[in-house]
A and B are shown apart, each in its own frame.
Chain A
Amino acid sequence: MTPFTLYALTGIGLFVLGLYSLIVQAHLIRKVIALNIMGSGVFLVLVGLGGPTSNTMPDPVPQAMVLTGIVVAIAATALALTLILRIQAETGRTDLAEHSSQH
Chain B
Amino acid sequence: MGISTVSIPWAIWTILLPLAGSLLCFLLPRRAALLGQAAAFSIVVPVAGLGWQVATHGIQRYAVGGWGAPLGIDLYADGLSSLMLIMTALVGLGISLYASAYFERRKAQFFWPLWLFLWAVLNALFLSGDIFNLYVTLELLGLAAVALVALAGGADALTGAMRYLLVSLLGSLCYLLGVALLYHAFGTLDIISLGRLMMPMPAVWTAMGLMTAGLLLKTALFPLHFWLPPAHASAPAPVSAILSALVVKASFYLLLRLWLDLFPEPGAAPRLLLGVLGAGAILWGSLQALRQKRLKLLVAYSTVAQLGYLFLAFPLLISAAWNAVVYFVLSHALAKSAMFLAVGNILYFGGHDRIDELDRIVQRLPLTMTAFAIAGISIIGLPPSGGFVAKWLLLEAAFSSGQWGWVLVVISGSLLAAAYVFKVIGFAFTQAKVLHETRAVPTIMEWTALGLALAALALGLMAPLPLELMDIGAPWVTLIGEELP
Contact = CB atoms under 8 A, between A and B. Distances in A.
B162 A80 contact: yes
A87 B162 contact: yes
Interface centre among B161, B163, B166, B230 (most CB of A within 10 A): B166
Interface string B10-30: 000000000000000000000
B162 A62 contact: no
A88 to B, nearest CB: 10
Given A45-B177, A72-B139, A87 B159 contact: yes
Interface string B113-150: 00000000000000000001001100110110011001
Interface centre among B71, B135, B184, B226 (most CB of A within 10 A): B184
Contact of A64 (B71, B176, B181): B71
Given A87-B155, A90-B155, A101-B229, A28 B162 contact: yes
B137 to A, nearest CB: 10
A84 B150 CA distance: 11
Contacts of A45: 177, 180-181
B330 interface: no
A65 B230 CA distance: 33
A90 B140 CA distance: 26
Contacts of A59: 187
B180 A76 contact: no
Contacts of A35: 166, 169-170, 173
Interface in B278-297: 288, 292, 297
A13 interface: no
A42 B172 CA distance: 11
A103 B179 CA distance: 34
Contacts of A42: 173, 176-177, 180
A83 B177 contact: no
B383 interface: no
Interface residues of B, number: 41
B163 A69 contact: no
Given A42-B176, A62-B183, A79-B147, A87 B158 contact: yes
A30 to B, nearest CB: 11
Contacts of A39: 173
Contact of A96 (B71, B163, B170): B163
B327 interface: no
A1 interface: no
Contacts of B402: none
A65 B155 contact: no
Given A39-B173, A42-B173, A86-B150, A61 B227 contact: no
B162 to A, nearest CB: 5
A49 interface: yes
Contacts of A28: 162
Given A72-B136, A76-B143, A102-B229, A38 B173 contact: yes
A75 interface: yes
B136 A68 contact: yes
A101 B136 CA distance: 29
A101 B177 contact: no
Interface of A: 15, 19, 22, 28, 31, 35, 38-39, 41-42, 45-46, 49-50, 59-62, 64-65, 68-69, 72, 75-76, 79-80, 83-84, 86-87, 90-91, 96, 100-103
Given A49-B184, A80-B165, A90-B153, 10 more contacts: A38-B173, A49-B180, A50-B183, A80-B162, A83-B158, A84-B162, A86-B158, A87-B159, A91-B155, A103-B288
7 contacts: A35-B169, A35-B173, A46-B183, A49-B180, A65-B179, A83-B161, A87-B159
Q: Which 4 residue pairs are nearest across A and B when measured between Cβ atoms?
A: A49-B184, A46-B180, A101-B226, A91-B155
